[in-house]
Chains A and B, each alone.
Chain A
Amino acid sequence: MIEVEGLTKLYGSKAAIDNLTFRVEKGEVVGFLGPNGAGKTTTMRVLSCFMPPTAGTARVAGYDIRSQALEVRRRIGYLPEHVPLYTDLTVTQYLNFVADAKGVPRQARRQRVEETIERCLLQDARRRIIGKLSKGFRQRVGLAQALLGDAPVLILDEPTIGLDPKQIIEIRSLIRDMRGERTVILSTHILPEVSMVCQRVIIINEGRIVAVDTPENLTRRLQRSTQVLLQIEGPPEQITRRLGEVNGVLRVQTKDGAGSLCRYLVETEKSQDLRQELARVICGSGWGLLELRPVDMSLEDIFIRLVTEEPVTSE
């Protein structure tokens, strides 16, 4: 649905994005992850045909963004980073305008706008002036305008920024529900959002792609060891020593706790699952085992590692 090859955009002599190549298949929800200034917004702007690239090609919904920009625009819904809206109009007036501008046929317009209002939970705000709405509502109006016109491709630039936790959950589930139905590419620098909403993630840094894969694969590929967290009641020094003696344990770290009740982070070799062994050792020594669970390398860790070390691509 989205095919990008060698996409480059220069501002003066500085490359905001440099030679990007990736694909997004129909019905996928893909996350564009990167620190501020990485080139996410620039990529979104080029894909939405707001501005042409300096070099490279991109095809959205089968049409070329340079030579067939109008056709591309008929098939996308775009939500820019700061959710720009016309603050003088009411929600209904605004959405009617958007429907008109997007070419929704007159007879269908009222129904479509109504459907979109309901989908984005805007019923209470119908007659309110946009300038007077709260951020959460404005974001939803922004999303509504992107959804209007039944665009098969959605390009969302930081769709949950500035929302409160409840609203974030709502928006995320809205996006997640579109899997299979529409193709979505969203950009964010909130890491948990990616694993919750996206099927694949493209990590970008300083204008270049650093990694492309599913969140689980990335975790697996980059994790150098398996980690297990234990909470044990007993003498810390002895526990640490005894755990370290278990075959396959690489390192034992005391995480937190006081006196005789502490948390320990045990790193074992990647291929081994030593949880049963560890449990047996603890209980066999007569200490109290209160908690035992595996700890995945968090996406934060992956991100930091990718963004500060060598690029690792899957293609």
Chain B
Amino acid sequence: MGTLAIFKKEMRAYFASPIAYAIFTLFLVICGYFFYSFLIYYSLASMQASMSPGLGAGLNVTDSILRPLFTNMSVVLLFLMPMLTMRLFAEERKQGTLELLLTYPVRDGEVLLGKFMSAVALTALLLLATGIYPLLLTLWGEVELYPVLTGYLGLLLLAAAFIALGLLCSSLTENQVVAAAFTFGALLLFWIIGWAASLAEGDWGVLFRQLSIVEHFVGSFARGVLELKDVAYYVGMASFFLFATLKSLEIRRWKG
């Protein structure tokens, strides 16, 4: 009940300030560029393949356009999600509205869930807007539906994990910039840890790869493959960070 009220309020707030519009614009411009360049490259390759048939063997729209596109989108999300989440707790704390909110008959968990869902919903809208890319592709080529849906699902789950981490960082400070910086830094760490995987040996290498945030996406979702372990990874990450945020709220209450 309280969750819904907070969800609606956050959605309103997103669109009342420039934040939502800025993020939409940035994301769509950057991804649009990626789509364009992959498409151009692909059309070039397919033209060459039409001239010498052997080259056309592995060429398909899903692998050559959508997969790299999804991969790049996941990285752009890594940059943009911190900006979406930085205000969620930090701004309320600074303005003093959190103090008031926490005296309403709404549980801390409801507040958290409402904010989380609003950020995820906004991201879902963002991803929906990029649906124009696969839609355009259907005009000229064969696009398989399920890999596309899987790719988007992966992006949403990825974003959910990013958002949960962003909420945690936002709840730890009053300063939005610090919150964004910490979120970004932490996400970057999770990304880079995948590179360490290739350098490390044996068990460490496996561990690092399992922790890497992008590995779990690139290997499966981007290719249109739904792997349970990857779903579990993102859901687990999101849950862990949400739980940590709940605890952080509790601790801040005690300290006053």
Contacts and interface: CB of A to CB of B under 8 A. Distances in A.
A100 B96 CA distance: 20
Interface string B1-38: 11011101100110011000000000000000000000
Nearest to A89: B12
Given A73-B104, A102-B104, A86 B253 contact: no
Contacts of A27: none
A227 interface: no
Given A70-B105, A86-B13, A97 B97 contact: no
B100 A11 contact: no
Contact of B107 (A48, A70, A86): A70
Interface bin, chain B: 20 to 34
Contact of A97 (B8, B17, B96): B8
Interface string A74-109: 101010101011111100010001101111000000
A100 B253 contact: no
Given A48-B103, A89-B13, A100-B8, 4 more contacts: A70-B105, A80-B99, A89-B12, A103-B2
Interface of B: 1-2, 4-6, 8-9, 12-13, 16-17, 95-97, 99-107, 253-256
B96 A84 contact: yes
Contact of B13 (A42, A52, A82, A88): A88
A70 B97 CA distance: 18
A249 interface: no
A42 B99 CA distance: 12
Contact of B103 (A73, A86, A89): A73
A9 interface: yes
Contacts of B5: 97, 100-101
B12 A101 contact: no
A259 B9 CA distance: 69
B233 to A, nearest CB: 34
A86 B105 contact: no
Q: Which 5 A-B pairs have the closest CB atoms?
A: A84-B96, A100-B5, A88-B16, A74-B105, A84-B97
Contacts of A84: 95-97, 99-100
Contacts, number: 73
A51 interface: yes
B104 A52 contact: no
Nearest to B16: A88
A88 B12 contact: yes
Given A84-B99, A86-B97, A88-B16, A51 B253 contact: yes
B254 A52 contact: yes
Interface string A154-168: 000000000000000
A50 B253 contact: yes
A11 to B, nearest CB: 7
30 contacts: A9-B256, A11-B256, A45-B256, A48-B103, A49-B102, A49-B103, A50-B99, A50-B102, A51-B253, A52-B253, A70-B107, A73-B104, A74-B105, A76-B103, A78-B100, A78-B103, A80-B99, A88-B12, A89-B13, A97-B5, A97-B8, A100-B1, A100-B2, A100-B8, A101-B2, A101-B105, A101-B106, A103-B1, A103-B2, A145-B100
A235 B237 CA distance: 91
Contacts of A85: 97
A51 B13 contact: no
Contact of A89 (B16, B104, B106, B254): B16
Contacts of A80: 96, 99-100
